[in-house]
């Protein structure tokens, strides 16, 4: 029989991704069983399935898991942010932006290493941009996870896509993790710089002008997006579709890009437009946040003094708390 799915139009049917009720055996993090259950959470201001992936994923599992949703003060959940591994255009020092370029061999290795670092941190749902380098990073990282669940991209872009990607095994569904792709998490669009060599562009336009395009908050490159414009779409999506999962006690991974993640971190850590200009994210390095009592707690901030990359998997995690 096909898994029960309450008539919702998406390919991963039935009760999806229910974590174990036991605590995850991480050396650095302990999560009470109450925080590992999936709960229904209505995303504000939306009733459309196609516009609201967070809502219909929650609905699809409500019939088999009818726990009371924890209050925000009781809920504790994890947020993992990963910038994609090195891409072929990163390697060639080209402006990539929204061009869809895959990972290099090094990028693949970075994604796998990222997976090892987060292998004992629970993950219930994954969000990525629509670009292949972010999707590859998410998929490759999950090959290292101790849960051994299979990440499956949800296709609800058309009725046919929904029908053709339907899973008919409830057992298989429970051994899967839904992956939601969203263009709002894409890298910022670099306009007329896309595909150009960064060094040659600096020689052509001047280093100061190119640095202004790359690192200013509100000045876009020709026919492209500024960080402010990228932030508007990325943060709005985070608030509407990702944060509700965290508030409901689910554990989330986001695989995206330097500028979309800088935008989200700006929101999480309440950075100013000046502070975010100096924020650099390494490829393939997981950043860990705890959501608790309505606050995001950084386990080693990318703008702090903590050594990059260590806080997501070592015992020092609990000693690096920032509000």
Q: Which two tokens stand for residue 101?
A: 């370029």
SS3 51: coil
Q: 39, 84, 155, 245: which one is catalytic? A: 84
Residue numbers in the known binding site are 83-90, 96-97, 133, 187-190, 198, 214-215, 258-259
Helix, coil or strand: residue 197? strand
**Residue 216 token pair:** 């200013």
| Residues 9, 15, 18: CA angle, nearest 5 degrees | 135
* 136 three-class SS: helix
Reply yes or no on whether 84 is catalytic. Answer: yes
C-alpha–C-alpha distance, residues 183 and 161, integer Å: 18
Q: Which of the following is catalytic: 76, 110, 170, 187?
A: 187
Query: Does 76 qualify as catalytic in the annotation?
Result: no
Which residue numbers belong to the known binding site for substrate? Answer: 83-90, 96-97, 133, 187-190, 198, 214-215, 258-259
DSSP state of 271: -
Selection from 296, 222, 250, 238 nearest residue 58 by Cα = 250
The answer to whether residues 279 and 302 touch, using CB atoms and an 8 Å cutoff, is yes
Per the structure block, which two tokens stand in for 137? 């990073």
Burial 259-269 (b: 16+ CB within 10 A, else e): bbbbbbbbbbb
Active site residues per annotation = 84, 187
């Amino acid at each position: 029989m096909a898994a029960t799915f309450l008539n919702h139009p998406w390919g991963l049917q039935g009760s999806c991704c229910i974590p174990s009720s036991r605590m995850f055996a991480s050396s650095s993090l302990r999560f009470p069983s109450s925080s590992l259950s999936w709960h229904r959470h209505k995303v504000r201001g939306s009733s459309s399935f196609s516009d609201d992936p967070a809502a219909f994923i929650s609905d699809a599992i409500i019939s088999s898991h009818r726990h009371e949703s924890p209050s925000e003060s009781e809920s504790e959940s994890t947020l993992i942010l990963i910038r994609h591994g090195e891409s072929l255009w990163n390697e060639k020092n080209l402006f990539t932006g929204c061009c869809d370029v895959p990972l290099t061999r090094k990028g693949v290795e970075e994604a796998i290493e990222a997976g090892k670092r987060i292998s004992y941190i629970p993950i219930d749902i994954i969000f990525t941009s629509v670009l292949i380098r972010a999707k590859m990073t998410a998929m490759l990282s999950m090959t290292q996870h101790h849960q051994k669940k299979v990440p499956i991209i949800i296709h609800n872009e058309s009725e046919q896509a929904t029908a053709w990607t339907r899973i008919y095994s409830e057992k298989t569904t429970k051994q899967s993790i839904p992956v939601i792709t969203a263009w709002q998490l894409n890298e910022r669009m670099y306009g007329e710089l896309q595909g150009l060599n960064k060094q040659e562009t600096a020689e052509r336009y001047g280093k100061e002008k190119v640095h202004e395009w790359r690192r200013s908050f509100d000045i876009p490159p020709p026919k492209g997006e500024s960080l402010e414009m990228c932030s508007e779409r990325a943060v709005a999506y985070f608030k509407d579709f990702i944060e509700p999962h965290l508030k409901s006690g689910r554990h989330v991974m986001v695989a995206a890009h330097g500028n979309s993640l800088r935008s989200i971190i700006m929101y999480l850590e309440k950075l100013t437009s000046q502070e975010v200009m100096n924020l650099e994210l390494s490829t393939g390095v997981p950043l860990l946040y705890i959501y608790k009592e309505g606050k995001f707690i950084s386990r080693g901030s990318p703008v702090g003094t903590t050594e990059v990359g260590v806080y997501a998997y070592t015992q020092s995690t609990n000693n690096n708390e920032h509000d």
